[in-house]
Each structure stands twice: as structure tokens, then as C-alpha cells.
Amino acid sequence: DDTALCALLEALLGAGQDELAGSVYDEAVASKRFDPWEQDWLLNLKELSVPVACLAVRRGILSVLARPAAEVGPWLGLIVGAEAYLPDTALVKREIALVLSRDWETEVWEEEDCREGLLWIDL
């Protein structure tokens, strides 16, 4: 159930167990038990608490970066476009900035689509 999962994620995040929360989130998404990015993703993100919404954005970006390069730009645009529906846009923008400022060892950043996607981010 989404409510129980979100409560667990919030408790883990509140206890400073970010890595464990990320693993629990990833497993729930992989098993299709939870996915704030599916059909009603805007509605779902609205209903998440700020810590869980930030986790969803952070993990969403990481999963997007694992996609083929040609898909990265549009997906980043989709995630960043969600900021208007999140409870604390400043916090979410900070999460996005942190993820994107990492030293990525991938050629994906050379792709035009990805650069276009990054232009959507107004930090």
C-alpha cells in the first residue's frame, strides 16, 4: 500500500537512512508496487511528503540517466516540469541541482537531447 510505503520511506529519511530509503524505493518501483511517475504522476507527487517527493525526484533523475542517451533530455524535462506540483519547489530544485552537479562518468552528457533537457532547469 502506498501510504504504508511512504510512511516507511519518511521514517527512514527522518532517521538519516537515505541509502536504505533509496533501496526500498527502488525495489518498490522495480516490483511495480509504487511509481509516482506513472499515469497520474503529477497527482501522486502532490500527495507525497516533501522528503519522499525529493527522494522520488532524486531517484527519478538517476533512473533517467541510466536510459539510452537519446531519451535523457525529454525525461529530465518531464521530471523538472513536475516541480510546480511538488510541496517545496526550492528544496526540490536543490535536490535536482545536487544530482546534476555530480561528476558523471558517462558520455550521455555529450548528447544534444540531454543538453536540451538541462536547459529546462531554472536553478
Give the mean pLDDT of 29-48. 66
Here the cell at position 119 is: 536547459
Residue 8 has pLDDT above 60, yes or no: yes
Domain locations in the chain as residue ranges: 35-119
Task: Give 95's contacts (C-beta < 8 A, 6+ positions apart).
Answer: 54, 57, 58
Q: Look at the pTM and tell me if it is higher than 0.75.
A: no
Give pLDDT tens digits for 54-107: 787 777 777 766 666 666 666 666 666 666 666 666 666 676 666 666 554 444
The pLDDT, as a whole number, for residue 89 is 62
Residue 42 has pLDDT above 70, yes or no: no
Q: What is the dihedral of CA 105, 106, 109, 112, to 10 degrees?
A: 170
